[in-house]
Amino acid sequence: MKHSIDDYTHDPRLQRPDKNPARLDFIQSATGLVLALFIWAHMFFESSILFGKEAMHTMTVFFEGYYFFGEKHPVFVTWLGLLIFGIFILHAFVALRKFPASYRQYRIFRSHMKTMRHTDTSTWFVQIVTGFVMFFLGSVHLYIVISQPGDIGPYASSDRMVTEWMWPLYIVLLVAVILHAGIGSYRLCLKWGWFEGKNAKKSRRFLRKFQYGTIVFFMTLGLLSIASYMKIGYEHRAHAGERYHPAYEKTVQGERP
Ligand code: HEM
């Protein structure tokens, strides 16, 4: 039997299910996972400053390809930055559909949150707020890293923190990004049933501990790193703009970066 257009629009049995919400959900989860893993790795690399200026210098030239090509190519950092920026924008774009669309929706959610008093509902709100903050502050940081890839290093980064007054931005960005990645990864595990095991209650308790653990660990690591960059930047403020050269470079010119 042939169906008319009207049948297709009015009879739910003849309509194809809309797969777009599921596709968007998948994109949001996949980009979120990549970004959370990137940010945790980023915190480790960048905390190399806690082991001294030379350790951070070694890490910087590693990312510039020195140990693979024998010379520094800061443009590699630009490429990585562009890739991360692309994923970051895609993630934010698909997440926009979950933002309260009007003040009325926002009020309804707030009263719902107060009545429920459920941690997972409240943390969803934290995701909205930290996501909003990160979109602005993360874009500033990524733009700097992409446009000035050669200006990363023990002195360059520390001067940026102190002399160029970036430390307030980094502190707010750190709080937002660590909360967002910690809560986001927990929600991701619940959503897709990762690490579920046989006892759902037990696994949720474990995942909650993991969520708090990562937040406390990376927040502490990040704050200590910022403090270390600030100390170096403060001591170096009279020579801001001067670049770091490890001790061995001064004796054996040209042999190592
Ligand atoms: C390829 C991309 C990225 C590179 C190469 C990079 C590199 C760096 C570097 C070298 C620093 C030290 C300070 C400086 O030099 O200005 C830093 C700090 C920081 N970055 Fe990134 N970053 C990238 C992406 C991101 C993203 C996407 C975020 C979050 C949205 C982020 C969040 C932070 C935070 C919060 C700090 C403060 C440092 C701390 O707490 O220890 N970064 N980044």
Within a domain: residue 247? no
Give me ligand 1 centre to Cα 2, in Å: 60
**pLDDT higher than threshold 60 for residue 251:** no
Pocket of ligand 1 (CB under 6 A): 39, 42, 46, 77, 80-81, 84, 88, 134, 138, 141-142, 145, 152, 157, 160, 170, 173-174, 177, 222, 225-226
Q: Look at 200 and 77; give whichever has higher pLDDT.
A: 77
Within a domain: residue 13? no
* pLDDT of 249: 72
Please tell me the total count of domains within the chain.
1
> CA 230 to CA 232: how far, in whole Å?
5
> CA 159 to CA 135: how far, in whole Å?
24
Token couple for 162: 């102190």
Residues 146-186 pLDDT 10s: 999 999 999 999 999 999 999 999 999 999 999 999 999 99
Within a domain: residue 1? no
Give me ligand 1 centre to Cα 112, in Å: 36
Atom of ligand 1 nearest to the CA of 144: 16
Residues 178-223 pLDDT 10s: 999 999 999 999 988 888 878 888 888 999 999 999 999 999 999 9
Domain that holds residue 230: 30-241
Residues 13-67 pLDDT 10s: 666 777 888 899 999 999 999 999 999 999 999 999 999 999 999 999 999 999 9
Rounded to an integer, what is the distance from CA 22 to the centroid of its chain?
23
**pLDDT higher than threshold 90 for residue 121:** no
Give me ligand 1 centre to Cα 66, in Å: 20
Q: What is the domain-level CATH number for residue 144?
A: 1.20.1300.10
Alpha helices, H only, the chain: 5-10, 20-46, 53-63, 66-69, 75-95, 103-116, 119-147, 154-162, 167-192, 200-235, 247-251
Phi and psi angles of residue 195, each rounded to the nearest 5 degrees, phi first: 55, 30
Within a domain: residue 82? yes
Within a domain: residue 198? yes
Within a domain: residue 163? yes
Within a domain: residue 16? no
Within a domain: residue 151? yes
